[in-house]
Structure 1
Amino acid sequence: MTRTRFLAALVMAPVAIAAILLLPTEWMMALAAVLFLAGLWEWFDLAEIDDTLARTVLLVANLGVMVAIVWASRWSAGFTLVLFKLASVIGVIWWLLALLWLGRYKFASDHDTHARVFKLAAGALAVIPAWCALAWIHAEEPNGHRWLLTALAIVWAADTGAYFAGRKFGGRVFGSRKLAPLVSPNKTIEGLVGGVVAGIVVGMAFSQFAGAPPSQLPAVALVALAAVLFSVVGDLFESLLKRHAGVKDSGDLIPGHGGILDRIDGVLAALPVFALGKALLGF
C-alpha cells in the first residue's frame, strides 16, 4: 500500500505544483472548484444522499454560490476579495464548531432527514470557504501563488509526517492512548506530533521561497501550527462521516489514497486558517 501511495503521489504532486505556480488565479480557481466539488460529491455519498438527481441539484447549488461570490466581487474599478475573506472567516468558525461535533460522536448519526441536513450544511461550509481562501491566498501580491504552495505543502508534509511517525513510534511514547479512538482508532498522538513538526519545518522552509524575511519565521511557524491542527480536525471530521456511513474511504478514484475527499479533507480545514493567519500576522 505504501508503494502504491508513493507512486500516486509522485504523479499528482508535480501536476498540482505546476498548476499552483503557473496558472493565473482565475484558472486556478476554476481548477480548484472542479476538484473541491468532486470532493463534495463524495461528501454527499457519506451524507447518504443516494439519488443522483438530488446530488446533482445540490452540487449545482454549491457551484451557484461560488459563481455568485465571483459575480458579486466584480465592480467598476476591478475585483475585490472582501467576500472571499468573509467566507474564509466563516470557514474558520465552522471548523471550530466541527471540533465540538467531534466531541459528540453520535450527533447526526441516526441517518434520518435531520442528520442529512446537518451534514449537507457541513459540506457547504467546508468546501466553499476553503475555495475562497485558496483564491484569496493565490490572488494576493506579492507571490500569492508561492504562498498557496506553502499552505498546501504544510498540509502535505503534516499528513506524511503523521503517517510515518505513527507507523514508527505509534504507542511507544504515549502508550495505548489514541488521538480520537471513537472516530479514527488508528490515529496516534505520536503521529500528531510528527505531523506538527513536519508541517512547521516545511512551512518555514517554503516561506523563504515565498519571500518571507527571517524576522517573520516565528509568525509563519505559528500559522503553520494552527493550519496543521485544523487539518487534523478536517481529517477527523471526514473519518466521523465515514464511520457514520460505515465505509472505509470516500471513494476509490486515487490508487492507494481512496477518494478525492480523502486527499483534500485536511486542506479544506487548513486553507481558511492559513489565509486568515497570514492576513492577521502580516506576512
Structure 2
Amino acid sequence: MKQRVLTALVLAPLAIMAVLYMPTGVFMALISILLLAGIWEWGLLAGLRKTLHRALVVAINAVLLAALAWADWNDLARQLIVVGLIWWILAALWLTKPEIGKARNRGNALIKLTIGTVLIVPAWSGAALLHAEQPNGPGWLLYAVMLVWAADTFAYFVGSRVGGRKLAPSISPGKTWAGFFGGLAGVMLVASAAMPLLGVGWHQWLPMAALALLTGLVSVLGDLFESLMKRQAGAKDSGDLLPGHGGALDRLDSLIAALPVFALGKLWLGL
C-alpha cells in the first residue's frame, strides 16, 4: 500500500501537468505511447507468448493511431467514440457470461487482440476530442480523469473499510457493492466541485450529475473487464511497469472505458 501511494504521489502531478499544459499534438503522442504500452500487455493476456508476435500487434496499432492522427481525425473521432460506446455495452453483456473466451485457443486469442484495438482507438479519440476543444478542453479532459480517479479511490477506501456483499466475486473478488456505491458518491462530489471551475452553471447540475454517474459506471466496467481478461489468462497484474500498481493497463483500464463514453455523453448533453 505504501508503494502504491508513493507511486501515485509522483505520477498524479505529472499527469495533471501533462493534461493542462501540453499542446494537444504532443499530448496525444504521449497518450499513444501509454495506450501502446497497454496493448503490449494486452497481447500477453490474449495469449501471445512470443515477443515478436506482441511487437507486431503493437506495430499494427501504432500505425492505426498514427493514421488517425494524420487524418481529419475530428470527424472520424466522433464516429469512433460511438464505436467505443457500443463495445462497452457488449462488454457489459460479456461480464454476465464470464466463461466466454476462457479457452486458450487461436480463435479466442484473435478475438481478444481485435478487442484490444477496439479498446484503445476510441479511448484515443475521446481524449483527442476533449483536449482539443475550445476554450477549455484540457480542463474537461482533466475533469474526466478526476472522475475516474475518484471512482477508483473512493471505491477502494469505502470497500476496504465497510466490506460486505461482493460486486462480482467470480471476476474480481475484492470489489464490493459498498465500494461501488462509495465510488459513485466520489464522482458526485467531484462533479459538484468541478462545476464552477469548468464554468458550468448550477442549472446544468442534472446533466453534469448524469454524465458523472455514467462515467463512474463505465470506469467500473472497464476495471471489471480487464480483471476478467487477467483471470482468464491466469495473471494477477497486466505487467510490472509501475511499483505497487502493476502494469500500464492496470492503471489505464478504467480510463480507456470512460474516455469515449464521457466524450460522447458531453456532446449529447451539450455541456
Give the C-alpha shift of residue 128 in structure 1: 0.9
Measure the CA separation in 1 of the matches of 2:232 and 2:210: 33
Shift of 1:111: 0.5
Unpaired stretches in structure 2, ≥5 consecutive residues: none
1:221 is aligned to 209
Alignment of 1:86-165 (within 5 A): 86-165=79-158
The reply to whether residue 54 of structure 1 matches residue 53 of structure 2 is: yes
Distance (whole Å) between structure 1 residues aligned to residue 241 and residue 250 of structure 2 = 10
Supply the distance in 1 between the matched residues of 2:195 and 2:253 (Cα, whole angstroms).
23
State the SS of the aligned residue for 1:186. Answer: strand
CA deviation after TM superposition for structure 1 residue 72, in Å = 2.3
CA distance in 1, matches of 2:63, 2:188: 36
Measure how far apart 1:70 and its partner are.
2.1
Determine helix, strand or coil for the equivalent of 2:242: coil
Q: Which amino acid aligns with 1:81?
A: N
Any conservation in 1 of the 2:80–2:122 contact (CA below 8 Å)? yes
Deviation at 1:64, TM superposition (A): 1.1
Q: Is the 8 A contact 2:81 2:125 kept in 1?
A: yes
Q: CA deviation at 1:204?
A: 2.8
| TM-score (ref. length: structure 2) | 0.98
**RMSD (Å) for aligned C-alpha atoms:** 1.0
Q: Which runs of 5+ in 1 are unaligned?
A: 74-79, 172-176
Q: Deviation of residue 6 (structure 1)?
A: 1.1
Q: Is the Cα contact below 8 Å between 1:200 and 1:224 reproduced in 2? A: yes
Q: Which of residues 229, 247, 255 is equivalent to 1:241? A: 229
Determine if the alignment matches structure 1 residue 209 to structure 2 residue 215: no
Match in the other structure for 1:76: none
Determine which of 157, 174, 183 is the counterpart of 1:186: 174
SS of corresponding position for 2:167: strand
2:246 to 258, 275, 283: 258
**Are 2:21 and 1:28 equivalent residues in the alignment?**
no
Q: Within 2, Cα distance between the matches of 1:96 and 1:159?
A: 20
CA distance in 2, matches of 1:139, 1:167: 38
Distance of 2:192 and 2:71 partners within structure 1: 35
1:81 counterpart SS class: helix
CA contact (8 A) 1:150 1:207 kept: no
Q: Which residue of 2 aligns with 1:174?
A: none
Partner amino acid for 1:253? Answer: L
The answer to whether the Cα contact below 8 Å between 2:195 and 2:202 also exists between their aligned partners in 1 is: no
Which residue of the other structure, out of 53, 75, 81, is the alignment partner of 2:74? 81
Q: Which residue of 2 aligns with 1:39?
A: 38
> Taking structure 1 as the reference length, what is the TM-score of the superposition?
0.94
Taking the aligned partners of 2:5 and 2:212, their CA distance within structure 1 comes to 24
State how many pairs are aligned. 271
C-alpha distance in 2 between matches for 1:118 and 1:110: 12
Aligned to 1:11: 10
Residue of structure 1 equivalent to 2:62:
63
Residue 153 of structure 1 contacts residue 203 of structure 1 at CA under 8 Å; is this kept in 2? no
Which residue identity is paired with 1:208? P
Q: Tell me if structure 1 keeps the 8 A contact 2:43–2:113.
A: yes
Q: Deviations over 1:115-145 (max 9, x none)?
A: 1011111111111100110000001112000
Q: CA deviation at 1:203?
A: 2.5
Q: List 4+ stretches of structure 1 deviating above 6 A.
A: none
CA distance in 2 between partners of 1:111 and 1:181 (Å): 22
Structure 1 residue 256, shift from structure 2 partner? 1.1
Alpha-carbon separation, structure 2, partners of 1:45 and 1:62: 15
2-structure distance, mates of 1:210, 1:128 = 27
Partners of 2:58 and 2:188 in 1: CA distance: 35
